[in-house]
Copies of this chain bind each other. A is one copy, B any other.
Amino acid sequence: MTKKILPGHGSGGKLMNDMISGMIKEILGRDSIQIDDSAVLEIEGGKIAFTTDSYTVTPIFFPGGDIGKLAVNGTVNDLAVMGAKPEYLSCALILEEGFGFDEFERILISMKESADSADIKIVTGDTKVVPNGKGDRIYINTSGIGVFRNPLQRKPIETGDKIILSGTAGDHGITIMSLRNNLNFSSALKSDCAPLNKMIDSVTEKFPGSIKFMRDATRGGVASVMNEITAGMNFSAKLIEEEIPVADEVKGICGILGLDPLYVANEGKIVIIADSASAEGITAELKKSEYGKNAAIIGQIDSVYPGKVYVETFIGGKRLLPLLVEEQLPRIC
């Protein structure tokens, strides 16, 4: 019989200690769980970035990743888009009673591999167990600390600035949604979940004064990020439909489900707003990364509909992209 999580695994007794030292520590690394309650870290003085996210995605395994990979990369990317170098990660687990040790182990291994690949250290952790029916197998919180090396200069956004997307829109959300609806026809469809810090480093280093805004387009997709930028401003964001990279599989499933890929979550895509002169160069630099090979300039800042986001369609029409009342897909991350 497969070993399963018991209430005692979260109780502070021997059962928990054995799981932590025997498995979690073994996989995540000796520094991941301290004898003490806190990790002690050496930090250069100055500005640091600090972020937190809980991950409740369902299903927990999906093409292109799993909840563990997502939890590491999501927090890595949140730090990286600030212009910070991700350094340290915490890992807090809420396990549901009855969750299988084999799946738990796969997720821990995935977290460790993701952390190594993003060059971030998991330095502290916590484990709680909730009864059956009070959780959903596993929820993961990661908080991260990053150190600023090339902070964004954030000059004001102006008419004429270009909007760059680092790759195809909607891959993560549509992968999850198609799994839930048994629509996964194509093996090419998979989550874009990826650590973007190295790609971001290379563009911020080469174009220090040109990047005015950068954000990973997760929950709510590209349209929601653009709405946050334009809200209350005297400029608008124009997206050009034919320039927006969308994978054929994503287009197909969006058609079936009636979804707009611009509102669908990504887990490995960033939106950049940059001055017009550098936009081509930034896009070319992004394309050098495996995670940016489909990067494109997808629009520009103008003053046609101040405070709004709109898309110019293939046939030349204009359609507003408001902030949706709620996301189309729940529990996407």
Contacts and interface: CB of A to CB of B under 8 A. Distances in A.
Interface of A: 6-17, 35-56, 78-79, 81-82, 84, 88, 90-94, 123-126, 128-131, 133-136, 139, 141, 143-146, 148, 215-216, 218-220, 224, 228, 265, 323-327, 329-331
Contacts of A90: 50-52, 143
B54 A13 contact: no
B37 A78 contact: yes
B126 A53 contact: yes
Contacts of A10: 330-331
A50 B92 contact: no
Contact of A43 (B48, B54, B88, B327): B48
Contacts of A92: 52-54, 141, 143
B40 A143 contact: no
B47 A265 contact: no
A252 to B, nearest CB: 24
A107 to B, nearest CB: 16
A68 B239 CA distance: 42
Given A12-B327, A92-B54, A130-B56, A45 B43 contact: yes
B79 A38 contact: yes
A155 to B, nearest CB: 16
Contacts of A145: 50, 145
Most buried by B among A38, A55, A81, A131: A38
A296 B224 CA distance: 57
B331 A130 contact: yes
Contacts of A324: 13-14
Contacts of A37: 51, 78-79, 81-82, 215-216
Closest 5 A-B residue pairs measured CB to CB? A8-B326, A45-B45, A12-B219, A11-B327, A12-B220
Contact of A54 (B55, B78, B141): B141
Contact of A51 (B6, B94, B124, B216): B124
Given A14-B323, A38-B146, 4 more contacts: A37-B81, A37-B215, A50-B145, A143-B143
A128 B56 contact: yes
Nearest to A11: B327
Contacts of A331: 10, 128, 130-131
Contact of A11 (B42, B54, B134, B326): B326
B14 A54 contact: no
Contacts of A329: 11
A93 B37 CA distance: 21
Contacts of A56: 94, 128, 130, 134
A191 to B, nearest CB: 17
A80 B128 CA distance: 22
B78 A50 contact: no
Most buried by B among A9, A56, A81, A125: A56
